[in-house]
Amino acid sequence: MMQLTGLVLDKPSSQPGPGAMRRLSRWLLLAEWRAHPVRSLVAIIAIALGVSLGYAVDLINGAAFNEFSAAARSLSGASDLQVHGVQPLFDEALYPRIAREKGVAVASPVLELDVTVPGERNALKVMGIDVFRASLITPDLTGVPAAERRLDTIADDAIFLSTAAQAWLKVRPGDQLALRSGTGIVNLRVAGGLLGAREGQRIGVMDIAAAQWRFDRVGKLSGIDLRLLPGVNRDTFRQNLQAQIPGLLQISENQDQEDRTNNMSRAYRVNLNVLALVALFTGAFLVFSTQALSVIRRRAQFALLRVMGLERGQLLWQILLEGALLGCLGSLLGIALGYLMAATALHFFGGDLGGGFFRGVQPQVAFDLPAAVIFLLLGTGIALLGSLVPALEASRARPAPALKSGSEEMALTRLMTFWPALMCLAFGGVLTQLPPIFDLPIFGYVAVALLLIGGIGLTPRLSAMVFPVVQKLTGRSGVVWTLAVARLANVPGQASIALGGVLSSFSLIVAMAIMVSSFRVSVDDWLTQLLSADLYVRSASNGETGALLPAEQTLLAATTGVDRIRFSHISSLTLNPARPPVTLIARDIDSSDNSDNSADADPARSLPIIGKMIPVKAIPSDALPIWVSEATRDIFGYQVGQRVQLPLGDNLHSFVVAGILRDYARQTGAIQLRLKDYQRLSGETDATEAAVTLQQGANATAVVDAMRKLPFGASLEFSTPGDIRDISLKIFDRSFAVTYLLEVVAIVIGLFGVAATFSAQTLARSQEFGMLRHVGVSRRQILSILAVEGGLLTLAGIAVGFLLGWTISLILVFIVNPQSFHWTMQLHMPWRSLGMVALLLLMSASITAVVSGLRAVAIDAVRAVKEDW
């Protein structure tokens, strides 16, 4: 006390000077941290975990996006414009017409293929170029031949591989490389490396004529790079050229490619960052509970300082300073941890984070100062917000009542005001009805945050309502129960702090668990509906150069044991140059009689159609039916009954949207049409996959063995519905691996918060326990009281947290996910996992309360009672 007095009154004036204030502030801060180092450390770690996850996700996505964009720009080189087909390939006869356009300086034809590599999961990007023209626009794609073989750049058996591609395929210059074309193998000689491929970029380059011949793309191009003459207006030229070739070709710039990459991965990146902020939000509540309990415990000390001349504003800034330092230290630690996490993740797992958007590049982490500053301010600001309410209460408290022992509950009376919480809940409900902004569920995210804040804000009122009722209903049920319930009923403010910690962590756990479970079950049900055949056959699991020719399709259909076989062809359409292509799937739509043109065709038998549908027989005679996915509907505005023009072959054709499909595999959109329509309009007769229905009693193994004996059987890949389902769900789990990690971190922080809250409250009640000891309550009974209190508070938090989490899950399932990824799903409750988490919280809270009580009851009863200001 004398030391504290000397710090304040070190000069005659009634107001302490700046030097004395600095010493007092430092003394108060260090004294608090020395007295309760673990509690402060837990708060710092909580903030650090939230910041580290957010910063790591930002660094990983930023590095991957920048590297992917840079790699895409290197493929375009110094071109001003790029001409691409709406379909993957277009007739090369258009090349000389475009090259002769007024204003074109150089036109470089390109054939870009994702070539299947036997035995590898991923495809190799192969660029066929005219080396003489490409050297003027895209010099990075120029191969570096051996000195004695300069003509390898135009050789028909040579391919140049980037360093990353050579390392991936384990080949060196001079080695042979086997690639797939159809069901056959193309053997190429690795002639050397590339002049300027980026680190980690897997790419191969060969002469364009050789690529067309080797991969059966004679007469086809995928693009033309244009460099314009000086002074030519790029936008005007683009508009004029697009007007000459409407519908079949699209003209884009480098910015369009970056927009396409950004649009493709933006929702995934933003959702990961939001999930990372969930951990930071939980950490903010932990800072609030830490500061609130600290202020309550030091209430009499602060009152004495006020009596000795400390002003309200000085006390307010002192408490805010403590919170800001917790946030600042946690943020700095989190930034360092985030950088290490990002570097480790990029080194071992690449930049995908399970999303699959940035394949084929090897990004390197780079310290992002602006992002670091943002997360530093965010972590510090979150901690300040957590400290604001306790700081305001301490500065407004009247010194005389605060000096009295037992006035702690008065500090929390302001928390009983419930109308701000109700306003948050109401406003959050209103926001759920608003549309997305830039294809992102911004209002949905804000609604979730408001519901969390509102739910936590109602905990004091909830404590004041529930525990008195419990007390009345149970009556006198023993000393332990009576004392425990009486304590909770008479100090609802302090009980609400612990209750809020349980509620915040458990509600987020419930919401995330329901959302992920609903998504996973919906995907599983969708796969079950789609995978109706007994066996699936394809010539390549990746790339676009594996195909089954008509003669090979006939042999497969004639295999002994095959009752029916349905072929499909998968390609893509680029409907908007700033958007990723949609997947075009041509297949037998009606499985009833293998006749797509039957009058009673029912697409719902084989397609996961949702909502209303137009019967095939109701489609106008001058149009054909298509079925589009939810993503295609949302992104491009397609509606049931709408007539659209799509290019197939060399012409535009009229289609009518006959229904909307559920498709969880293609976030960028999908369009399905009947295989016979596709073959007739496009002239394509090959297939990429076959679904085989076996004859009754036929053995799948015997059918597979018979197909392997076909001339092309060695190149076939076979899968059962169970295999495809297992692989798909593994991919799903890998895609949500980061989500699972963030959920676990939120759980850990929540448990830290529960432990810290119970520990602080228990240690602050040493006087109460000393009095109970005086009146004959044993130490064992006190520990039992703490266990009952912890159990009751946790049960109440679990009950309310479940209701709040279930409400948030509705927003995630029915608003956030459809607006982010354009998928709808059915709600599924993971009762088992939720029960296990609830049991874990209940046990941890009770055990923590008992363990913390061991220290409190160890204090001598007489000394505990005498400790009173």
CB atoms within 10 A of CB 686: 18
Taking the C-alpha atoms of residue 661 and residue 670, their distance in angstroms, rounded to an integer, is 9
In sequence order, what are the residues at sequence separation of 6 or more whose Cβ sits closer than 8 angstroms to the Cβ of residue 841? Answer: 502, 505, 506, 750, 751, 754, 794, 797, 798
pLDDT tens-place string over residues 467-502:
888 888 877 677 888 888 887 777 776 667 767 777
Average pLDDT taken over every residue of the chain: 81
Taking the C-alpha atoms of residue 53 and residue 49, their distance in angstroms, rounded to an integer, is 6
Q: Which two tokens stand for residue 427?
A: 């406003």
Please state at what angle helix 37-76 crosses helix 369-396, rounded to 10 degrees.
150
Q: Which two tokens stand for residue 120?
A: 């590898």
User: Which pLDDT score, from 0 to 100, does residue 325 have?
Assistant: 86
Contact 679, 687 (CB under 8 A): no
Q: Which two tokens stand for residue 569?
A: 């062809």
DSSP state of 229: P
509 and 587 in one domain?
A: no
Mean pLDDT over 799-809 rounds to: 91
Q: In terms of Cα–Cα distance, which of 249, 312, 265, 282 is closest to 94?
A: 249
CB atoms within 10 A of CB 708: 13
586 and 476 in one domain?
A: no
Q: Which two tokens stand for residue 374?
A: 């943002």
- For the ranges 267-281, 602-616, 713-727, 751-765, the lowest mean pLDDT is seen at 751-765
Q: Cα 865 from chain centroid?
A: 54
689 DSSP β-pair partners: 538, 568
Ramachandran bin of 200, using left for φ above 0, alpha for ψ from -120 to 50, beta for the remaining angles: left
- For the ranges 356-370, 388-402, 450-464, 852-866, the lowest mean pLDDT is seen at 852-866
Mean pLDDT over 425-429 rounds to: 92
User: Which pLDDT score, from 0 to 100, does residue 157 have?
Assistant: 93
In a domain, 365, yes or no: yes
Contact 669, 503 (CB under 8 A): no
Q: In terms of Cα–Cα distance, which of 622, 627, 625 is closest to 606?
A: 627
In a domain, 426, yes or no: no
User: Which pLDDT score, from 0 to 100, does residue 601 have?
Assistant: 66
Name the amino acid, one letter, at 327.
Answer: G
785 and 737 in one domain?
A: yes
Mean pLDDT over 537-554 rounds to: 87
Greater pLDDT, 40 or 115: 115
Can you spell out the DSSP letters for 610-634? EEEE--GGGS-TTSEEEEEEHHHHH
Is 241's pLDDT higher than 70? yes
Greater pLDDT, 624 or 17: 624
In sequence order, what are the residues at sequence separation of 6 or more whose Cβ sits closer than 8 angstroms to the Cβ of residue 547? Answer: 182, 183, 539, 686, 687, 688
Is 211's pLDDT higher than 90? yes
Taking the C-alpha atoms of residue 92 and residue 111, their distance in angstroms, rounded to an integer, is 10
| H or E element that contains 699 | none
pLDDT tens-place string over residues 340-378:
988 887 777 665 555 555 565 567 778 888 888 988 888
User: Which pLDDT score, from 0 to 100, does residue 405 have?
Assistant: 54
Q: In terms of Cα–Cα distance, which of 713, 715, 691, 693 is closest to 704?
A: 713
Taking the C-alpha atoms of residue 499 and residue 826, their distance in angstroms, rounded to an integer, is 31
In sequence order, what are the residues at sequence separation of 6 or more whose Cβ sits closer than 8 angstroms to the Cβ of residue 649? Answer: 681, 682, 683
Name the amino acid, one letter, at 749.
Answer: I
pLDDT tens-place string over residues 682-712:
989 999 999 999 999 899 999 999 999 999 9
521 and 623 in one domain?
A: no
In a domain, 683, yes or no: yes
User: Which pLDDT score, from 0 to 100, does residue 633 have?
Assistant: 93
Is 323's pLDDT higher than 60? yes
Please report, to the nearest 10 degrees, the dihedral formed by the alpha carbons of residues 731, 732, 733, 737 taken in order.
Answer: 100
Among candidate residues 676, 704, 719, the one where a domain is terminated: 719
Among candidate residues 719, 742, 760, the one where a domain is terminated: 719
Mean pLDDT over 45-62 rounds to: 80
- For the ranges 153-157, 323-327, 394-398, the lowest mean pLDDT is seen at 394-398
Is 13's pLDDT higher than 90? no
Share of the chain above pLDDT 70, in %: 78
590 and 677 in one domain?
A: yes
Q: Report the chain's terminal Cα–Cα distance, integer Å.
A: 11
pLDDT tens-place string over residues 137-161:
988 888 889 888 888 999 999 999 9
782 and 686 in one domain?
A: no
DSSP state of 541: S
The model's pTM is 0.80
Mean pLDDT over 534-560 rounds to: 89
User: Which pLDDT score, from 0 to 100, does residue 3 have?
Assistant: 42
Taking the C-alpha atoms of residue 212 and residue 684, their distance in angstroms, rounded to an integer, is 16
Mean pLDDT over 839-862 rounds to: 71
User: Which pLDDT score, from 0 to 100, does residue 592 have?
Assistant: 46
Greater pLDDT, 794 or 557: 557
In a domain, 179, yes or no: yes
Q: In terms of Cα–Cα distance, which of 591, 577, 587, 576 is closest to 663?
A: 587
Greater pLDDT, 646 or 11: 646
- For the ranges 53-57, 60-64, 223-227, 390-394, the lowest mean pLDDT is seen at 390-394
Q: How far is CA 194 from CA 22, 163, 825, in A?
A: 64, 8, 46
Greater pLDDT, 586 or 491: 586
Radius of gyration of the chain (CA): 34
695 and 581 in one domain?
A: yes
Is 53's pLDDT higher than 80? no
Q: In terms of Cα–Cα distance, which of 455, 494, 459, 489 is closest to 474?
A: 489
Is 167's pLDDT higher than 80? yes
In a domain, 454, yes or no: no
User: Which pLDDT score, from 0 to 100, does residue 676 have?
Assistant: 92
In sequence order, what are the residues at sequence separation of 6 or more whose Cβ sits closer than 8 angstroms to the Cβ of residue 377? Answer: none
User: Which pLDDT score, from 0 to 100, does residue 2 have?
Assistant: 39
Contact 824, 610 (CB under 8 A): yes
Beta-strand pair 223-228/220-221: unpaired
| H or E element that contains 423 | helix 419-431
Mean pLDDT over 162-171 rounds to: 91
Greater pLDDT, 834 or 733: 834
User: Which pLDDT score, from 0 to 100, does residue 206 have?
Assistant: 94
862 and 735 in one domain?
A: yes
Tokens 């001003």 sit on residue: 80
Q: In terms of Cα–Cα distance, which of 559, 632, 640, 627 is closest to 596?
A: 627
205 DSSP β-pair partners: 127, 160
305 and 183 in one domain?
A: no
In a domain, 459, yes or no: no
Instruction: Using DSSP, state whether 148 is helix, strand or coil.
Output: coil
Query: pLDDT-based confidence at 437, cuts 50/70/90?
Result: confident
Q: Where are the beta strands (DSSP E) in 508-575?
A: 535-538, 562-573
In a domain, 313, yes or no: yes
List phi, psi (to 5°) of 624.
-125, 150
Taking the C-alpha atoms of residue 746 and residue 506, their distance in angstroms, rounded to an integer, is 9
Contact 574, 84 (CB under 8 A): yes
CA atoms within 13 A on the CB side of 806: 12
The runs of H, that is alpha helices, within 531-672 are 550-557, 630-636
Q: In terms of Cα–Cα distance, which of 571, 569, 611 is closest to 588?
A: 569
| H or E element that contains 671 | strand 670-674
Is 638's pLDDT higher than 70? yes
In sequence order, what are the residues at sequence separation of 6 or more whose Cβ sits closer than 8 angstroms to the Cβ of residue 186? Answer: 178, 179, 180, 214, 215
User: Which pLDDT score, from 0 to 100, does residue 778 have?
Assistant: 80
Contact 35, 293 (CB under 8 A): no
Is 8's pLDDT higher than 60? no
User: Which pLDDT score, from 0 to 100, does residue 258 have?
Assistant: 67
Is 596's pLDDT higher than 60? no
In a domain, 449, yes or no: no
In sequence order, what are the residues at sequence separation of 6 or more whose Cβ sits closer than 8 angstroms to the Cβ of residue 831? Answer: none
Taking the C-alpha atoms of residue 127 and residue 141, their distance in angstroms, rounded to an integer, is 8
Contact 215, 686 (CB under 8 A): no
Mean pLDDT over 262-282 rounds to: 70
Q: Environment class of residue 683 by beta-carbon count within 10 Å: exposed (0-12), middle (13-18) or buried (19+)?
A: exposed
Tokens 């070190």 sit on residue: 10
Instruction: Give the count of domains, the chain.
Output: 4
Name the amino acid, one letter, at 730.
Answer: K
User: Which pLDDT score, from 0 to 100, does residue 205 have?
Assistant: 95
Most confident of 69-73, 311-315, 780-784: 780-784
pLDDT tens-place string over residues 711-727:
999 889 999 998 888 88
pLDDT tens-place string over residues 108-145:
999 999 999 988 888 899 999 999 999 889 888 888 89
Among candidate residues 252, 273, 295, the one where a domain is terminated: 252
Taking the C-alpha atoms of residue 516 and residue 511, their distance in angstroms, rounded to an integer, is 9
688 and 551 in one domain?
A: yes
Taking the C-alpha atoms of residue 505 and residue 575, their distance in angstroms, rounded to an integer, is 44
pLDDT tens-place string over residues 749-803:
666 666 666 666 666 666 677 777 777 778 788 888 888 887 888 888 888 889 9
Contact 143, 152 (CB under 8 A): yes
CA atoms within 13 A on the CB side of 142: 15
User: Which pLDDT score, from 0 to 100, does residue 5 have?
Assistant: 43
540 and 671 in one domain?
A: yes
Taking the C-alpha atoms of residue 823 and residue 392, their distance in angstroms, rounded to an integer, is 45
Q: Where are the beta strands (DSSP E) in 100-232?
A: 104-115, 124-129, 143-144, 158-161, 176-181, 184-194, 203-207, 220-221, 223-228
Taking the C-alpha atoms of residue 659 and residue 760, their distance in angstroms, rounded to an integer, is 60
Domain that includes residue 792, residue range: 467-531+722-869
156 and 112 in one domain?
A: yes
Please report, to the nearest 10 degrees, the dihedral formed by the alpha carbons of residues 749, 365, 737, 446 taken in order.
Answer: 60
Query: pLDDT-based confidence at 6, cuts 50/70/90?
Result: very low
